[in-house]
Amino acid sequence: MNIDRSAPVLITGGNGYIASWLVKYLLESGHDVHATVRDPSNADKVGHLKALADGASGTLTLFAADLLDDGAFDEAMAGCELVFHTASPFVLSVKNPQRDLVDPAVQGTRNALESANRVSSVKRVVLTSSVVSIYGDAVDLQRDGTDVLTEGDWNTTSSLKHQPYSFSKVEAERAAWEIAGAQERWDLVVINPGFVLGPSLTTVSSSASFDTMKQIVDGTMRMGAPAIELGVVDVRDVAHAHLKAGYTPDASGRNICVSRSMTFLQMGRALAGTYGRRYPFPKRELPKPLVWLAAPTAGVTHKYVSNNVGYPLRFDNSRVRETLGVEFRPVETTVVEHFQQLIDDGIVRDRRV
């Protein structure tokens, strides 16, 4: 599918963590960007986007849109051949998973793709999904008799009661493939990022990525870190993967976007290599029985501990490297740059001596 680079491009959730970098790269390349946000007049939320547009060769137009409103994306999508649907909640602790995670993820995806069905200019939709739509728990690899996860795997173990965020991503991606498969005018390409870290373009970003990083340095893991592996990727690499997915004619299917797996202890060691002993970085891994005992006070279920602590987690990222030409930054550098922004933004106290 060839996309006219002179046509405007739509990004839903344009002020999000990944989307903001996508806006930046598109504007710098001279594209006319349509971005949907909840409130275009909220300077705290969209000021950084307007700053990116100042002096850029491309243009930026903001549109108000709510994920749950039917037809919310029609106006912003008009004239666009390429749509990046990035808007979706990324929070791990919610009171009502159906209302707070599944409904906005699934209904938002349906609304965006139904708009694509109505807007005749659309040729391709790039959907931001996640590796958690590929697996639910690290133990899944052992149960399935595999050493590495590929795009052919699907998460079948998450639910509203266990890993509801993961469940929301599975339901949203399945809905997207269902809608895409029922028509032939536009094609769907899915990016499945891992745990996204790296600098944000705004100081008001809030997501599980930032919350997890704070736990590594606020003393929560002072006595040790759980032996949990995450597939880590730099936010800038994820944005580039989206761009490649949008403008590579033969891009297709799902695309795992992970640099490599990394434990909390490895993150702590990467940070200690730069910041020394100024922060209570974890220096060892806790035995699984101790993690089990501490789970309720940490807001983690015993089932999560049983199914993830101590199990290796590996991803095959060859497709995104070979088909889309994505090159990954070293994750150690990403972790340090992510933490430095927490310091620069005052989220973590600067302990320089």
Q: With 80 as the cut, is the pLDDT of residue 141 above it?
A: yes
- Work out the average pLDDT over 99-123: 95
d(C-alpha 292, C-alpha 306), whole Å? 8
Q: For 45-59, 168-182, 235-249, which range has the lowest pLDDT when averaged over its residues?
A: 45-59
Q: Extract the tokens encoding 109.
A: 């995806």
Q: With 70 as the cut, is the pLDDT of residue 207 above it?
A: no
pLDDT tens, 245-287?
999 999 999 999 999 999 999 999 999 999 988 888 899 999 9
Alpha helices by DSSP H, listed for the chain, are 17-28, 43-53, 74-77, 97, 103-118, 139-144, 164-181, 208-217, 235-247, 264-275, 288-294, 302-308, 318-322, 331-344
Q: With 70 as the cut, is the pLDDT of residue 204 above it?
A: no
Higher model confidence: residue 146 or residue 217?
146
CA distances from 235 to 93, 99, 239 (A): 22, 27, 6
> Residue 298: what pLDDT?
76
DSSP 286: P
pLDDT tens, 291-339?
988 888 877 899 999 999 999 999 999 999 999 999 999 999 999 999 8
Number of residues in the chain: 353
> Residue 93: what pLDDT?
67
Question: pTM for the whole thing?
Answer: 0.94
Q: Phi then psi for 242, rounded to 5 degrees?
A: -60, -45
pLDDT band with cut points at 50, 70 and 90 for residue 131: very high
pLDDT tens, 3-31?
989 999 999 999 999 999 999 999 999 99
Q: With 60 as the cut, is the pLDDT of residue 353 above it?
A: no
Q: Extract the tokens encoding 149.
A: 């996860």
Q: With 80 as the cut, is the pLDDT of residue 54 above it?
A: yes
d(C-alpha 128, C-alpha 237), whole Å? 13
Contact criterion met (CB below 8 Å) for 197 and 232: yes
- Work out the average pLDDT over 49-70: 93
328 φψ region: left (φ > 0), alpha (ψ -120 to 50), beta (else):
beta
> Residue 169: what pLDDT?
96
Q: For residue 36, list its beta bridge partners.
A: 63
pLDDT band with cut points at 50, 70 and 90 for residue 195: very high
Q: With 70 as the cut, is the pLDDT of residue 205 above it?
A: no
pLDDT band with cut points at 50, 70 and 90 for residue 215: confident
Q: With 90 as the cut, is the pLDDT of residue 35 above it?
A: yes
| Residue position matching structure tokens 């730099």 | 234
Domains of the chain: 9-344 (3.40.50.720)
> Residue 91: what pLDDT?
62
Q: With 90 as the cut, is the pLDDT of residue 118 above it?
A: yes
Give the 3-state secondary structure of residue 109. Answer: helix
Q: With 90 as the cut, is the pLDDT of residue 214 above it?
A: no
User: What percentage of the chain exceeds 90 in pLDDT?
Assistant: 76
d(C-alpha 97, C-alpha 170), whole Å? 14
Contact criterion met (CB below 8 Å) for 261 and 141: no
Q: Which amino acid is at 223?
A: M
- Work out the average pLDDT over 142-149: 91
Q: Round the average pLDDT of the chain to a whole number and report it.
A: 92
**CA torsion angle 169 170 175 181 (round to 10):** 120
d(C-alpha 15, C-alpha 328), whole Å? 23
Q: With 80 as the cut, is the pLDDT of residue 79 above it?
A: yes
Q: Extract the tokens encoding 161.
A: 């009661």
> Residue 179: what pLDDT?
98
Q: With 80 as the cut, is the pLDDT of residue 161 above it?
A: yes
